[in-house]
Amino acid sequence: MDTKKFLIVVDMQKDFIDGSLGTPEAQRIVPAVCERIENAQRDGETVIATLDTHGEDYMATREGRFLPVMHCIKGTEGWRLHGEVDRALGGCPRLEKPTFGSVELPGIIESLSGGAHMEIELLGLCTDICVVSNALLLKAHFPEADIRVSSSLCAGVTPEKHQAALETMRSCQIEVL
């Protein structure tokens, strides 16, 4: 059986790296994330990046009421992909998502898979919010796919939340690398 490999680069945006919600842990993974993207492209994997995308009304949204920090406002510097990551991605597709998980991503992956068995690897930010949300959505849509998360290429809001999210994904039969 043919296998189609996907690398999903989750929200490697400036606001999550060195902006309003940035962390030292997020800053540290950037070089290795870029290397993984470049290796995936060299090896013929399909690379797709997601972009957390909000409007100026963010604070009036449900998410904004629970996470009251303006971030990833479309068109702002913080919304953009980190420069090194953007260069590594080159012309790879970028998918805007207005919430933690992309409900469009499974359909895009399915259409690109051509019916082949899928191996899906996720990396990025934040492990405990957007990475886990996308991993669980993909697992629900593709229960027989090999879904993995690269733990060293992710960072959470805190190191403790990063570890908790990894354990949640393990519990849902997502392989943690």
Domain boundaries, the chain: 3-176
Q: What is the Cα–Cα distance from 123 to 150, expressed in whole angstroms?
A: 6
Instruction: Work out the mean pLDDT of the chain and round it to a whole number.
Output: 96
Locus of tokens 């359909």: 107
Q: Are 102 and 140 in contact (CB under 8 A)?
A: no
Architecture (CATH level 2) of domain 3-176: 3-Layer(aba) Sandwich (3.40)
Residue 1 has pLDDT above 70, yes or no: no
Check residue 170 and report its DSSP letter. H
Q: Where are the alpha helices (DSSP H) in 24-71?
A: 24-42, 62-66
> To the nearest whole percent, how much of the chain has pLDDT over 70?
99
pTM of the model: 0.96
Task: For the chain, give the percent of residues with pLDDT over 90.
Answer: 96
Mean pLDDT confidence for 157-173: 97
